[in-house]
Amino acid sequence: MRLFDFERAPNPRRVRIFLAEKGLEIPLVHVNLYQLEQLTPEFRAINPGCTVPVLETDDGTYLTEAVAICHYLENAHPEPALFGAGALEQAQILMWANICEIEGLGAVQDVLRNWSPGFRGRALPGPVDHDQIPALVERGRQRCGMFFDRIEGQLAHHDWLASRHYSFADINLLATVDFARWVEIDATAGRQRLRDWYRRASARPSASA
């Protein structure tokens, strides 16, 4: 196996944190997004969506999307169980992981890609160029605020996001909180439970992956 990766991007980081929690080591293939290597014919043959991460399995299958990659690795290496045990816990972890990806990472991405000059003409990932829409910056910031407020409320129930145990949902949230700093959003400001959660999550050795 090998993982096509870009160190600075939040989505590959989610997989690297997952691997670290599992104690797995997979060779990394660097894809330089700054130099648009994801748009080369060679990489398009691997992933027509032109995004990372991509996991190449031992039989040569290419898996895209962090959740699919981590789900595959969970089945291959069940312990520790980062997708939970039992139907209800697994559903809750997937639910909150999806909320983080759509409402959290998606909102930060809207801000960054429509605000940063580095994404001029590349406001959406993928093979097609898209112009920036400045109005989405403020809307994205509002979405971020609503998302982190929702997380603050959820953390009243237990120490970790989706269950009593650290899970894939917490990995998604950690990537989102750190990604928000790229657009000058401190998710923990005024949110004590989220601040306490962040201290615990970022203190785990896997957080540096």
* 43/62 same-domain check: yes
E-only strand ranges, the chain: 2-5, 28-30, 54-56, 62-64
56 by DSSP, 3-state: which?
A: strand
Residue 81 lies inside a defined structural domain of this protein: no
- How many Å apart are CA 20 and CA 17, to the nearest integer? 5
* 91/160 same-domain check: yes
Q: Which of 76, 102, 131 is the last residue of a domain?
A: 76
The closest of 7, 176, 171 to 93, measured between CA atoms, is 171
Q: Which of 22, 46, 76 is the last residue of a domain?
A: 76
What is the model's pLDDT at position 57?
98
What is the model's pLDDT at position 112?
97
* 198/134 same-domain check: yes
Q: If you ran DSSP here, which 8-state letter would residue 122 be given?
A: B
* 104/194 same-domain check: yes
Dihedral of CA atoms 163, 164, 169, 170 in degrees, nearest 10, equals 150
Residue 85 region by backbone torsions, left for phi larger than 0, else alpha for psi between -120 and 50, else beta: beta
Which residue, chain included where needed, has tokens 């603050």?
152
Q: Which of 20, 48, 76 is the last residue of a domain?
A: 76
CATH of the domain at 68: 3.40.30.10
pTM of the model: 0.97
Residue 174 lies inside a defined structural domain of this protein: yes
Q: CB atoms < 10 A from the CB of 209, how many?
A: 17
Domain that holds residue 64: 2-76
Task: Sort 199 into a burial class: Cβ within 10 Å, 0-12 / 13-18 / 19+.
Answer: exposed
Backbone phi, then psi, for 56, in 5-degree steps?
-95, 115
Give pLDDT tens digits along the chain (209 positions).
999 999 999 999 999 999 999 999 999 999 999 999 999 999 999 999 999 999 999 999 999 999 999 999 999 999 999 999 999 999 999 999 999 999 999 999 999 999 999 999 999 999 999 999 999 999 999 999 999 999 999 999 999 999 999 999 999 999 999 999 999 999 999 999 999 999 999 999 999 99
* 26/51 same-domain check: yes
* 161/195 same-domain check: yes
* 124/51 same-domain check: no
Pairing of strands 54-56, 62-64: antiparallel
